[in-house]
């Protein structure tokens, strides 16, 4: 069937949007890499080509605003490339604001809006002034905030907002007044409360919200900014936003007075950067790139199906069904079933995408937020090629943003404080992703102040979370920060510190079937680890036999495998089985006892021990036999059954048998449950 012109245009537009988003990502990362270093000619060329390509594509489709802004950025970059312009923080901030402008217009066009770029006229003029196209004195210099929202002026608009909160909004740790305070930073806000739903005093419950509100906001505000304020409570309220009249000839409304503390002036600018930078990544991915290897594997599976179909086709005649013919039919049906499952697995693997799609937003976020907070921060990204299912990855963005904000605002110190405590003035913030068993682990770690055990416990006792005289171990104390409304922040800001966030992070991660844990050393830093299941992950595994069943041990968790020597076995405190492995003592886990499975071998001397790493401790797993190593497709137990401690998932082997995948972290947790405080160190 011939393709129509409109269909062809839609296909070309889709390609343009995808390539433009990639170009903007390259442009932004290139600009960030230039700061603080000498201008690298290769990087400058890459940035220039990205701007030039975007301008060409926009011109092809007649997107005037995009073309004009990209052209002015290209002109400035050409001067940098020719050595006529030096890269400095002011120029970098201006070009990054240009990236925000391009991304904003591209998002508007993608949503069917004009995307004319009139709101970015001051930015375009600033770029022209920088390139000396017009005299610099004819255009005011860019404000110092270095964010796109500060460089663009939208019309003064009146917004009417009707908000009815769910009765449970207060008990979940969310506070409507916090939302109103944030709206007040955007312009002139009027709030009228509807108290008609408040019951008599005798029936009133303290943690139940009975109010509704009508709000009027006037200022240089876009609808997206208002929606961003309510994003965290979208499932706990009914929200209606409508636009009133545009206030013509109105002077810009001051967002906050000059006497407002610096911390209270930050969030509007930070959220503007985040909104423009993550606009496309927050939306569900409409398309994903697939490696050639995955496509080749898919084609191989299709080839196997064709062979099986031919095999069964030869049996499709009127001949008698004797014993030999029946055996061939059964064999063909078995092959068909296995190949169909393999084909399904291959197709689902196409949904696995790298976490770099989420990590890519953080260099800009850290760059702008650290400048606004007047802190020096080095962001380090590791494990960006780690793959996770698309639906899981899309839900990780907001929790990670919350954790990064907390590290920047409360974890990392300012340069003076770091120098006074003997640290380098530049703090480090690490984002990592890696596979562990059937899960993906994402870590946010800083080398900042760390959590104060005493302050957390004191606050918990003060608000009644912990009774007087009750002692908790470190893990239980640090777990208190996940309680709704709990915060030890000395100053409340809209970035963090209101006690709304960590409980939401844990709730969202647990909604994915995962969990959150914290490790911290006061004065040295904090690490928050997110564990989420890889429902469709591919891992390298070591097959082991226990009785008549096969199990998979994630290959990355294995340290070594040894033949048991009973003379090195011992009992600690009469109950913990341990093994002296050279200069250390390893806790031993008898999988047959833990999993309730029989073993076919005799005594311990006939068993093999697979030494694995579990939460920083080595443990030995007793098995009957080591089998082959192979890649396995992880199938989630939660989907059809429930989460089982010690098992992270299951897989289908080449012969059609099901093998459970061992969760070495869970097994270590089970082993430590009976004696968590034993020190397993060789004498």
Query: Is the separation of the CB atoms in 64 and 117 below 8 Å?
Result: yes
> Would you say residue 680 lies in a domain?
no
Query: Is the separation of the CB atoms in 590 and 667 below 8 Å?
Result: no
Structural domains in the chain (count):
5
> Would you say residue 271 lies in a domain?
no
Same domain, 315 and 364: no
Same domain, 375 and 520: yes
Tell me the per-residue pLDDT of 170-207, one tens digit each, with 9 for 90 and over: 766 567 887 887 788 788 889 998 988 888 887 888 77
Query: Is the separation of the CB atoms in 229 and 183 below 8 Å?
Result: yes
> Would you say residue 281 lies in a domain?
no
Strand ranges across the sheet with 569-572:
558-563, 608-614, 617-623, 584-590, 576-581, 569-572
Same domain, 484 and 361: yes
Placement of tokens 């890696």 in the chain: 434
* β-pair type (439-446, 387-389): unpaired
| Residues 468, 474, 480, 481, CA torsion sign | positive
Predicted pLDDT of residue 18:
81
Q: What is the CATH number of the domain that holds 231?
A: 3.30.70.260
CA distance 469 to 289: 57
Which residues are CB-contacts of 569 (< 8 A; sequence separation ≥ 6)?
Answer: 577, 578, 579, 588, 604
Q: In 3D, which of 613, 631, 629 has the Cα closest to residue 621? A: 613
CA distance 668 to 73: 55
Q: What is the CATH number of the domain that holds 559?
A: 2.40.50.180
527: left (phi over 0), alpha (psi -120 to 50) or beta: beta
Predicted pLDDT of residue 128:
84
> Would you say residue 275 lies in a domain?
no
Tell me the per-residue pLDDT of 539-594, one tens digit each, with 9 for 90 and over: 778 999 988 889 999 887 788 999 888 888 888 776 778 898 888 888 888 888 88
Q: Which one of 151, 185, 208 terminates a domain?
A: 151
Between the two ends of the chain, the Cα-to-Cα distance in Å is 79
Could you tell me where the DSSP H helices lie in 438-552?
453-462, 474-479, 502-511
283: left (phi over 0), alpha (psi -120 to 50) or beta: beta
Same domain, 307 and 340: yes
528 three-state secondary structure: strand
Range of the domain at 197: 157-257
The neighbouring-strand residues paired with 587 are 578, 619
Q: How many CB atoms lie under 10 A from the CB of residue 72?
A: 25
> Would you say residue 263 lies in a domain?
no
Same domain, 308 and 398: no
Cut 0.85: pTM above it:
no
Same domain, 81 and 116: yes
Query: Is the separation of the CB atoms in 39 and 48 below 8 Å?
Result: no
Predicted pLDDT of residue 674:
60
The neighbouring-strand residues paired with 445 are 430, 527
CA distance 138 to 128: 10
Predicted pLDDT of residue 538:
66
Predicted pLDDT of residue 135:
38
Predicted pLDDT of residue 132:
61
Predicted pLDDT of residue 487:
65
Predicted pLDDT of residue 389:
81
Predicted pLDDT of residue 7:
63
- The H or E element containing residue 136 is none
Placement of tokens 């289908």 in the chain: 652
Q: How many CB atoms lie under 10 A from the CB of residue 263?
A: 17
> Would you say residue 280 lies in a domain?
no
DSSP per residue over 389-411, as a string?
Answer: EHHHHHTTHHHHHHHHHHIIIII
> Would you say residue 586 lies in a domain?
yes
Same domain, 253 and 226: yes
Strand ranges across the sheet with 647-652:
625-633, 538-546, 549-554, 658-662, 647-652
Same domain, 361 and 498: yes
Compute φ and ψ for 559, nearest 5 degrees: -90, -50
Q: In 3D, which of 574, 535, 554 has the Cα closest to residue 667? A: 554
Same domain, 21 and 168: no
The neighbouring-strand residues paired with 540 are 631
Same domain, 519 and 382: yes
Query: Looking at residue 172, what DSSP letter applies?
Result: T
CA distances from residue 370 to 55, 261, 525 in whole angstroms, order as listed: 31, 17, 17
The neighbouring-strand residues paired with 292 are none
Same domain, 615 and 656: yes
Placement of tokens 């069943």 in the chain: 549
Predicted pLDDT of residue 174:
67
Query: Looking at residue 604, what DSSP letter applies?
Result: G
What's the token pair of residue 533? Answer: 């299941």
DSSP per residue over 330-375, as a string?
Answer: HHHHHHHHHHHHHHHHHHHHTTEEETHHHHTTHHHHHHHHHHHTT-
Placement of tokens 């709206």 in the chain: 183
Give the chain's residues under pLDDT 50: 1-5, 133-154, 247-282, 497-500, 677-683
What's the token pair of residue 666? Answer: 């869970």
Q: Which one of 332, 350, 368 terminates a domain?
A: 350
Same domain, 525 and 386: yes
Q: Which one of 257, 280, 300 terminates a domain?
A: 257
* β-pair type (658-662, 558-563): unpaired
Query: Is the separation of the CB atoms in 642 and 627 below 8 Å?
Result: no
CA distance 617 to 281: 37
> Would you say residue 679 lies in a domain?
no
Q: What is the CATH number of the domain that holds 110?
A: 1.20.120.160
132: left (phi over 0), alpha (psi -120 to 50) or beta: left
CA distance 307 to 250: 74
């Amino acid at each position: 069937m011939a393709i129509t012109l409109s269909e062809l245009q839609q296909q070309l537009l889709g390609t343009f949007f995808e390539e433009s988003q990639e170009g903007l990502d390259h442009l932004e990362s290139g600009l960030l890499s230039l700061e603080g270093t000498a201008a690298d000619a290769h990087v400058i060329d890459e940035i220039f080509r990205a701007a030039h390509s975007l301008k060409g594509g926009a011109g092809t489709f007649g997107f005037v605003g995009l073309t004009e802004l990209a052209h002015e950025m290209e002109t400035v970059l050409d001067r940098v490339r020719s050595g006529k312009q030096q890269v400095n923080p002011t120029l970098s901030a201006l070009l990054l604001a240009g990236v925000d402008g391009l991304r904003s217009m591209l998002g508007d066009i993608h949503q069917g809006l004009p995307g004319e770029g009139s709101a970015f006229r001051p930015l375009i003029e600033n770029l022209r002034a920088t390139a000396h196209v017009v005299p610099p004195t004819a255009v005011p210099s860019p404000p110092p905030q270095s964010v796109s929202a500060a460089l663009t002026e939208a019309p003064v608009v009146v917004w009417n907002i009707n908000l009815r909160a769910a009765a449970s909004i207060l008990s979940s740790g969310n506070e409507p007044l916090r939302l109103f305070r944030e709206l007040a930073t955007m312009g002139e806000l009027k709030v009228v409360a509807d108290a008609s739903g408040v019951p008599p005093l005798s029936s009133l419950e303290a943690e139940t919200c009975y109010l509704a509100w009508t709000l009027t906001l006037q200022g240089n505000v876009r609808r997206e900014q208002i929606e961003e304020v309510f994003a965290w409570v979208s499932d706990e309220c009914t929200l209606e936003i409508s636009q009133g009249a545009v206030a013509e000839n109105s002077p810009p409304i001051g967002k906050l007075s000059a006497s407002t503390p610096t911390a209270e002036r930050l969030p509007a600018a930070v959220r503007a950067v985040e909104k423009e930078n993550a606009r496309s990544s927050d939306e569900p991915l409409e398309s994903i790139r697939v490696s050639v290897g995955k496509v080749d594997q898919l084609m191989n599976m299709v080839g196997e199906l064709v062979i099986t179909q031919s095999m069964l086709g030869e049996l499709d005649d009127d001949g008698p069904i004797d014993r030999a013919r029946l055996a061939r039919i059964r064999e063909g049906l078995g092959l068909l079933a296995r190949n169909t499952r393999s084909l399904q697995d291959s197709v689902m693997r196409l949904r696995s995408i790298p976490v770099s799609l989420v990590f890519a937003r953080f260099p800009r976020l850290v760059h702008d937020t650290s400048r606004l907070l007047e802190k020096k921060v080095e962001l380090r990204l590791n494990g960006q090629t780690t793959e996770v299912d698309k639906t899981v990855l899309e839900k990780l963005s907001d929790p990670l943003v919350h954790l990064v904000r907390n590290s920047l605002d409360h974890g990392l110190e300012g340069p003076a404080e770091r120098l006074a405590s003997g640290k380098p003035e530049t703090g480090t913030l690490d984002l990592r992703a890696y596979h562990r068993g059937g899960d993906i682990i994402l870590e946010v770690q800083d080398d900042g102040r760390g959590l104060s055990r005493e302050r957390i416990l004191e606050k918990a006792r003060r608000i009644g979370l912990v009774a007087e005289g009750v002692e908790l171990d470190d893990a239980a104390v640090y777990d208190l920060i996940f309680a709704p409304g709990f915060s030890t922040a000395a100053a409340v800001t809209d970035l963090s510190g209101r006690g709304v966030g960590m409980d939401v992070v844990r709730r969202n991660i647990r909604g994915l079937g995962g969990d959150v844990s914290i490790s911290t050393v006061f004065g040295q830093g904090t690490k928050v680890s997110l564990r989420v299941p890889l429902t469709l992950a591919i891992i390298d595994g070591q097959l082991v036999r226990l009785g008549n069943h096969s199990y998979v041990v994630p290959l990355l968790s294995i340290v070594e495998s040894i033949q048991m020597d009973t003379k090195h076995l011992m009992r600690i405190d009469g109950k913990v089985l341990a093994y002296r492995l050279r200069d250390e003592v390893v806790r031993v886990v008898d999988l047959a006892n833990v999993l309730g499975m029989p073993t076919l071998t005799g005594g311990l001397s006939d068993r093999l021990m697979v030494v694995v790493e579990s939460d920083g401790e080595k443990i030995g797993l007793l098995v009957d036999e080591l089998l082959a190593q192979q890649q396995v497709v992880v199938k989630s137990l939660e989907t059809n059954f429930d989460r089982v401690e010690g098992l992270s998932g299951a897989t289908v082997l080449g012969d059609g048998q099901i093998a459970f995948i061992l969760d070495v972290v869970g097994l270590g947790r089970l082993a430590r449950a009976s004696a968590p405080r034993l020190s397993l160190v060789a004498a």
